[in-house]
């Protein structure tokens, strides 16, 4: 998927569809799920600044988060912070993992302050020790990292300036390899496919250009009026582009349009699955699934109550995640779809003051990351090894108990959220609650009220349903 700059969102509230029943006894909270296909909230990573990007290494369960001026490295399997945070002097434009001097490294690309150009800082993979730094003369603007065989490359372009060129750098030594000239208006974005020698660029001049990273030559260009986004699959050499009223499927080798797919509204996003057998496109509140080789429509996914903002396939091609950002105070939502049936597996709703900036799957597909301005929500994607229910030991701090209006005893529990507290919906109150036998009632729960033992939900025993 194309590189995105992420927006601020507020994660003060979180709900999901009613998929579980609630029971309690003593100091133990039991969550018994009736729908094993529902995702489970695992963790909330808090960040004090706007999150700009998230990247994953080729292997392992660590990932790096970048804000405007800081980087943190986390482990999504252990839900642990692996470093104390890296502060940089210039605004961060991008991150990349690659092998630097025979060592797995994290590269941070940021502005050089008052100097002309930009800085690349090289850190160990977990961001605990800086290895070196490199000054790129005359480099500025947006950045996308890519590997061409064993050569780590960096593509930079100025999305807001009068220079419409794309520069390709070798970040081992900072040398400028190629300058791609051809666009005549502002560049909207770049797209790489892993391991491919091709770079795709698209711009406000209504062109999509294919560049060869090895030779520095322009191979071919396509014209698509009002192009908004692209996705490229190198294995099939297929490219898809979306515009204000249609989607076009291109054969990059021949330059021919395989199909033109009319849409009723502007196309907010397009995406191939990993093997380019399926293509997903957004059409207002709906999502179309197409045969990626012929352009024949497979099905239409309906259910979003407002325009869909983004889509992404899971690494195993089985799932599609979609999200919307409604206006007028309506809560944004995320839907997880089974692409073989077209059925929605679960719905996650973010609070009314929120905007979902982006979503991504971990490389192994076990975790869904929902990116926000102030943090990342981590959801466990259901699998054969991930339980659909768990028992959470908890210790109440009596001095902090705050009795409030509470739901009825028959209220449905929606999910386990934030530090694994139960979210329920009752008579006139929706919020985070826990049942206290000593009070024979419900208590609104917050981080200061309940002390959980930190046992990850996926390691807890499954509670058999009756």
Q: 65 with 47: CB under 8 angstroms? A: yes
- pLDDT for 409 equals 36
Of 182 and 77, the structure prediction assigns the larger pLDDT to 182
The answer on pLDDT for 454 being more than 60 is no
Of 114 and 54, the structure prediction assigns the larger pLDDT to 54
Percent above pLDDT 90 for the chain: 38
**Mean pLDDT, the chain, integer:** 73
Instruction: State residue 22 phi and psi, 5-degree precision.
Output: -115, 135
| Interval 18-25 mean pLDDT | 24
Minimal CA–CA distance to 139: which of 170, 167, 161?
Answer: 167
Segment among 172-186, 247-261, 301-315, 432-446 with least mean pLDDT: 432-446
Report the alpha-carbon distance of residue 351 to residue 152 in Å, rounded. 40
- pLDDT for 267 equals 97
- pLDDT for 46 equals 64
Q: 96 with 143: CB under 8 angstroms? A: no
- pLDDT for 217 equals 97
- pLDDT for 259 equals 96
- For residue 454 the two structure tokens come to 């930190």
- pLDDT for 42 equals 63
| Interval 298-311 mean pLDDT | 95
- CA angle, 390 as apex, 387 and 396 as ends, to 5°? 155
* CA dist list (Å): 133 to 52, 145, 190: 21, 16, 25
User: Tens of pLDDT along 237-267?
Assistant: 999 999 999 999 999 999 899 999 999 999 9
The residue extents of the domains of the chain are: 224-356
| Interval 437-458 mean pLDDT | 38
Report the alpha-carbon distance of residue 131 to residue 146 in Å, rounded. 20
Q: 300 with 286: CB under 8 angstroms? A: yes
User: Tens of pLDDT along 80-96?
Assistant: 788 888 999 888 888 88
User: Tens of pLDDT along 379-417?
Assistant: 777 665 543 333 333 333 333 333 333 333 333 333 333
Report the alpha-carbon distance of residue 386 to residue 459 in Å, rounded. 8
Helix (H, G, I), strand (E, B) or coil at 91: coil
User: Tens of pLDDT along 184-224?
Assistant: 999 999 998 877 899 999 999 999 999 999 999 999 999 99
Minimal CA–CA distance to 159: which of 367, 2, 1, 30?
Answer: 2
Report the alpha-carbon distance of residue 158 to residue 43 in Å, rounded. 36
Percent above pLDDT 70 for the chain: 68
| Interval 5-17 mean pLDDT | 21
Q: How confident is the model at residue 312 (pLDDT cuts 50, 70, 90)?
A: very high
The answer on pLDDT for 31 being more than 70 is no
- pLDDT for 148 equals 79
The answer on pLDDT for 136 being more than 70 is yes
What 8-state DSSP symbol labels residue 185?
S
The answer on pLDDT for 286 being more than 80 is yes
The answer on pLDDT for 144 being more than 50 is yes
Minimal CA–CA distance to 120: which of 131, 130, 107?
Answer: 107
CATH 3.90.198.10 is the classification of domain 224-356: no
Of 293 and 76, the structure prediction assigns the larger pLDDT to 293
């Amino acid at each position: 998927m194309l590189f995105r700059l992420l927006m601020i969102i507020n994660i003060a509230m979180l709900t999901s569809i009613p998929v579980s029943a609630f029971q309690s006894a003593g100091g133990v909270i039991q969550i018994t799920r009736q729908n094993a296909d529902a995702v489970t909230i695992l963790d909330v990573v808090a960040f004090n600044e706007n999150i700009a990007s998230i990247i994953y290494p080729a292997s392992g369960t660590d990932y790096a988060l970048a804000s405007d001026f800081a980087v943190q490295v986390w482990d999504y399997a252990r839900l642990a912070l692996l470093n104390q945070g890296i502060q940089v002097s210039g605004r961060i434009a991008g991150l990349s993992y690659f092998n630097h001097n025979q060592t797995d490294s994290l590269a941070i690309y940021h502005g050089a302050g008052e100097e002309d150009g930009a800085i690349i800082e090289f850190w160990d993979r977990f961001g605990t020790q800086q290895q070196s730094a490199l000054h790129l003369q005359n480099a500025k603007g947006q950045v996308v990292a890519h590997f061409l065989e064993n050569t780590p490359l960096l593509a930079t372009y100025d999305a807001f300036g009068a220079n419409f060129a794309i520069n390709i750098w070798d970040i081992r030594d900072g040398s400028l390899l190629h300058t791609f000239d051809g666009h005549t208006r502002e560049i909207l974005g770049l797209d790489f496919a892993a391991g491919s020698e091709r770079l795709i660029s698209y711009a406000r001049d209504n062109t999509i250009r294919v560049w060869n990273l090895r030779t520095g030559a322009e191979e071919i260009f396509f014209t698509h009026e009002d192009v908004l986004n692209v996705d490229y699959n190198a294995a099939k050499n297929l490219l898809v582009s979306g515009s204000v009223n249609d989607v076009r499927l291109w054969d990059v080798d021949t330059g021919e349009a395989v199909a033109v797919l009319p849409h009723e509204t502007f196309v907010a996003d397009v995406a191939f699955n990993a093997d380019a057998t399926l293509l997903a496109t957004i059409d207002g509140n709906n999502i179309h699934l197409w045969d990626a080789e012929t352009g024949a429509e497979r099905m239409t996914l309906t259910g979003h109550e407002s325009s869909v903002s983004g889509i992404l396939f899971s690494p195993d091609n089985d799932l599609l995640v979609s999200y919307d950002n409604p206006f007028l105070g309506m809560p944004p939502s995320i839907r997880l779809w089974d692409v073989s049936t077209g059925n929605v597996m679960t719905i996650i709703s973010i609070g009314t003051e929120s905007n979902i900036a982006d979503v991504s799957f971990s490389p192994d597909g076990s975790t869904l990351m929902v990116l926000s301005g102030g943090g990342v929500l981590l959801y466990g994607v259901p699998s054969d090894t991930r339980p659909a229910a768990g028992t959470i030991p908890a210790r109440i701090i009596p001095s902090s108990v705050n009795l409030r209006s509470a739901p009825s005893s028959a209220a449905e529990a929606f999910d386990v959220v934030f530090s694994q507290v139960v979210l329920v919906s009752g008579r006139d109150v929706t919020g985070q609650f826990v049942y206290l036998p000593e009070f024979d009632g419900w208590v609104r729960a917050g981080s200061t009220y309940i002390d959980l033992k930190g046992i990850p939900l996926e390691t807890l025993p499954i509670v058999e349903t009756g």
